[in-house]
Amino acid sequence: MTIFNNGRQGHTSALMATAGSFKERQLLQQAEKILLHPIHSHLISYCPTMDLIAVVTDEENLDVYRINGQRAFGFKRKSDELSVVALQWEFNGKSIAISWSDGTTDLVSAETGKVTHKDVALPEVGDEAPTQVKCMGWGLNFINVEAVKRRTGLKRNKGASPTKTDPFGQPTTEDWDTFKDDTMLEDFLQRQPDFQTLDVAPDLPDQLAMMDMEALLPKLPPIPLPPALPFMRVSQPASGAFSSQVEVDSLLHSHHLKDHNSVDMFIRLSDRGTVHPSIYDSLGTISVQLPKAWNVLSTPLLHTSHPYSCTHGLLMETRFSSSLTKKSLAYVPLTLTFIPLAGIYLHLIAAKTSQLQNLLLYISQTLQRIRAFFKHAQDLPRKFMMNIEETLEEKGLGDLVTNLFHVACTGHCNPVVKEWLVDELAEGGHKRWDTTVSTSFTTLLALLHENLIPALDRCSILISRLRGLAHFHDRDWIFSGPLSDFTALLQTLKKMRLVAHTAMLYASEEKRQFHSFSKWLRFTIDFEATEPDSQSRAEMEQRDAGVDISQVLAYIQFGLTKSDVAPFLQPEAQLDAKAKAREEASYEDTKKAIELVKEGATFREEALCLEHVAGHLSTGVTGLLKQVSRWQEDNIRMDSGIVLEQGEKGEYEVLDMRMVFEPSSEPPQEDTTAEDTAPTADEDAMSTYILVSPPSNPSVLHVHRITHTPTITNLKKNTLEYTVATLDFGAETKILDAKFADDTALLGVGYGFLYEEEEEGGWRGVGGG
């Protein structure tokens, strides 16, 4: 499918070639849409699995349309200074990545239209940080490739002999278990693959290692929206990445976590030649680049990959420092050797570390929401009490706490407090007070009990599992640090859970006390509003308020002006600088601080501050992720390349790249091992096709074909064949664009002919331009 764009009118059309003879073939209009704003012609991207087209308007807003022209979702420009520089769909169409001119990338879910990862920045390299993303790639890599090949019929089962037949030519019973359901590679690349039907489960020992008890736990609920502010006329937009159950499930209970035989690779390439791969759209990335000894300035142009190959293909524009005007076009293989090296444990570690990052984000947003509701419960009562406090102070009648305590104990109310209760607070003010505090504490308790504590429990399970992997493997494996790093994290989680549980107990008690206080306050307002000698007052004097007065007095004395929950929920910024700089409090120190709080004595404030303890947790997890990133970086090769075109001074505008699987004609009797990378006659190969139109000769198309082994560790040895085909359309022809349509065809647009590649290797024209 080719997308044509008219920038002036913002007009797009989707066109598709029809079948038929050579002369009868033509492009028929599939759909048409007139847009409100012009769009950038170089920022149009078609979803690989759904009929969705992403465009970027001249206002730098992303709009995604269905093929019938209906708008599916969009993403607005973050600030006036930013512009979109690159778009990339996930291989299964579940998300789209948007890179901005400040170097950050946002990942937007195609299912919800909301951001799942926001402002993912490029890592710093050397003294200077990369300015922006030049291009991106987002593909799938299988861990056990041979298992998938056997499932799709490209390989025989391990150790199987050729198909045997009986004397009548019928297959014997030995081949009855062969899959006959026409499973293809595309079945593994769907948005929601049916892994039970695909049936590529690992062997029993690996299944035992991959058992996940988290699947038995209840799902984490979404984080509620922040409290509505006064005078808000419209509902507050959803904030954060966990505001709906769909978003929580996509990040924490994703379907792809069940696929034990693949890893999702999201690769960003910066304009300074650095490459930043990450697994499972994780926030943590690494950085690799061409050897500095080459003294070459490189700019990435394109990326391609194939699920059967752990080598990704990069197309780069290179220049030598001595001659910056002359450019070369080079194919550079990026080999991710950590994929076959770690085997099935790569999925486990990659999935769990990514899930751990998302849980940290979930915990952070939960704490922010808890503080927001706690502050909301304090602000309105404080505003009600502020005026009466000033009046009482001016008249020398003490403070509000003393006066309310006096009213609760004696029933006598001085005129100033009575006026405040009857005229200022009254029934309407009391109702607002009661509703605000009750709903805020109810939501706060739910956040502690249903969101925060279960998330901490999941973190403990994840870290315990990673500690087990580190303990029973070699010291030089993925986790290079000591086991005490995991133990320290588990202790931090243990402390945080204790603090959260204690805060929940205090909040529950304060809510009960406030319920009694609110009921008593309403009774007092109604009583003081009656006339002294009236029948109503006489009846109310005979009636009991129906509350536990001890609960009322406890709330007036403590909860009314200084909540017992405050030490646990105070912002870290309010802590003393010396307290924040102290060594992390131990579990025993935390227990002691809680006892001192009960006694009203001085305690270590930082030991009970949830935000401060969460900071220690984040620091420890970051250290673990750096170990994983360091291991990945040590097992990535990008130290070779093939120069395809050279000597050009203009910009390469017509480019495309595709990696194609080349099955061997004679399948081997046994599976090839990951270590055997030498090219053999019967080994499956990959072919990387690169389509180039030289700037100096726009009527010519060069199709480079590099056939190589699935894993390139030595480019010279692992390259099986290199050929170049040239399509010359004549001097009067100008090629505007050309792309690979699939593994067997390419389409071109220009003042000439469109050519299609036949499976037999020939070429023939299919239309005029």
Mean pLDDT in consecutive groups of 10 residues from the start of the chain, 769 residues: 40 38 62 88 89 93 92 90 93 91 90 85 68 90 84 60 60 57 68 62 68 81 84 50 82 68 89 88 78 89 94 92 80 93 82 88 94 92 88 87 90 88 89 93 96 95 89 76 88 95 95 93 87 78 81 90 90 83 88 87 86 92 88 90 86 92 64 45 81 90 94 92 90 87 86 51 44
Element (H, E) at 353: helix 344-394
pLDDT for res 627? 87
* Contact status, residue 725 vs residue 709, Cβ threshold 8 Å: no
pLDDT for res 725? 93
Which of 631, 647, 669 delimits the end of a domain? 631
Is residue 30 in some structural domain? yes
pLDDT for res 666? 55
Which of 121, 145, 163 delimits the end of a domain? 121
CA atoms within 13 A on the CB side of 585: 28
The CATH number of the domain holding residue 23 is: 2.130.10.10
Alpha-carbon span 371 to 36, nearest angstrom: 42
Is residue 738 in some structural domain? no
Alpha-carbon span 703 to 423, nearest angstrom: 86
CA distances in angstroms from 201 to 149, 245, 522, listed in the order given: 14, 28, 65
* 3-class state of residue 154 by DSSP: coil
pLDDT for res 51? 87
**Nearest C-alpha neighbor of 691 from the set 730, 734, 644, 731:** 644
pLDDT for res 671? 46
Is residue 426 in some structural domain? yes
Residue 79's domain spans which residues? 1-121
* CA 561 to chain CA mean position, Å: 41
Residue type, 265: M
pLDDT for res 198? 60
Domain count across the chain: 2
CA atoms within 13 A on the CB side of 315: 25
Is residue 644 in some structural domain? no
**Nearest C-alpha neighbor of 407 from the set 512, 523, 515, 510:** 523
Is residue 336 in some structural domain? no
Predicted model pTM: 0.80
Structure tokens at 429: 């003010």
Which of 631, 652, 675 delimits the end of a domain? 631
Is residue 24 in some structural domain? yes
Is residue 435 in some structural domain? yes
* Torsion sign (Cα): 163, 166, 170, 175: negative
